[in-house]
Structure 1
Amino acid sequence: MKWITREHVKVDRVACPWLIKKFVDKDAEFIFAPADKVMAEAKRLDAIPYDVKDVELGHHGKECSFEAILKKYKLTGDPALVLLGRIVNGADTDNTLYHQAEGPGLQALAEGFRHLGYKDDHALNAAEWIVYDALYAYAQKMVQRGKPAGQFAD
């Protein structure tokens, strides 16, 4: 299946493809387009749009696109993915929904990756997915330790 979002990825537009590829569609193909062309290209290519305005797999209220994907594809039964969603939310939004302590760290990492000179959004995603692998492992460990809201939760 083809999936499409805005180019010049940062937090949610790296986390979502990671989530999709690992848990939704192992054969996913990702397309990154200029913001004003995403919906037209989605229609032309028969691609599923995500993390763009007014789509099912986008921001809703204070929830981020990663969380929309968790809900749509019934992945909320994995408490580690739910925690990872809270961390992504904290990095991608104003962090007022959960006040997730790990969020600003992920935001800093994502910003740093944008300045490493990757040739395109595909290369940036390929490099940065290790961060999400590590955060998922962290989230699994926190859940195992009885801290489903994260290590730094009150």
Structure 2
Amino acid sequence: MTAGAGSKFVDPKAEFLFVPADQVMAVAEREGATPYDVKGVELGHHGKECSFDAILKKHGLTSDPALVLLARIVNGADTDNSLWNQPESAGLKAVAEGFRGLGFKNDHDLNAAEWIVYDAFYAYCKRMVEEHKPEGAFR
């Protein structure tokens, strides 16, 4: 759900390799890549936090309140939503699940198509911060 976070907010030139979860560590080692979103890696789930949370923390991106709100929404869509109970998460999760049913030929195409949604959510988050609603419109 959050592969583009690295490219969008950390490194616009980042390249993602999509491989089955059981091959991530071997491919990462072989390619000199950073493993992400699998069990036991730095940029994975930790407790109730998801990979997007780990990426923001590792790269010092938690000072942007709009990005923090986006992280809460992404977290809720990618987990059981019990950490922040962010109402917008249900919408993001439904849209992300819907994209999986659209028949994209590979994960790169799926990820590229989904980014318009993440851009829209980020724009929403920036507006919420500007309107002094840093926890979102539904709080």
Q: Do these two structures clear the TM 0.5 threshold for a shared fold by scoring above it?
A: yes
What residue is the counterpart of 1:107 in the other structure?
Answer: 93
SS in 2 for 1:87: helix
Quick check: 1:18–1:132 contact (8 Å CA) kept in 2? no
Deviation of residue 24 (structure 1)? 1.0
CA deviation after TM superposition for structure 1 residue 18, in Å: 2.1
The count of corresponding residues between Structure 1 and Structure 2 is: 139
Give the alignment partner of residue 91 of structure 1, picking from 69, 77, 86: 77
Counterpart of 2:114? Answer: 128
Alignment gaps of 5+ in structure 2: none
Partner of 1:23: 9
1:65 aligns with 2:51: yes
Tell me, in whole angstroms, the C-alpha distance in 2 between the residues paired with 1:26 and 1:123: 17
Identity of aligned residues (%): 68
Which one of 2, 5, 28 corresponds to residue 42 of structure 1? Answer: 28
SS at match of 1:50: coil
Higher strand share: 1
Give the TM-score of the pair, scaled to structure 1: 0.88
Tell me the residue number matched to 2:68: 82
Q: Does 1:150 align with 2:136?
A: yes
Distance in 2 (alpha carbons) for counterparts of 1:123 and 1:23: 19
Counterpart of 1:62 in structure 2: which amino acid?
K
Deviation at 1:134, TM superposition (A): 0.4
1:32 alignment partner, SS class: coil
**Normalising to structure 2: TM-score of the pair?**
0.98
- Structure 1 partner of 2:123: 137
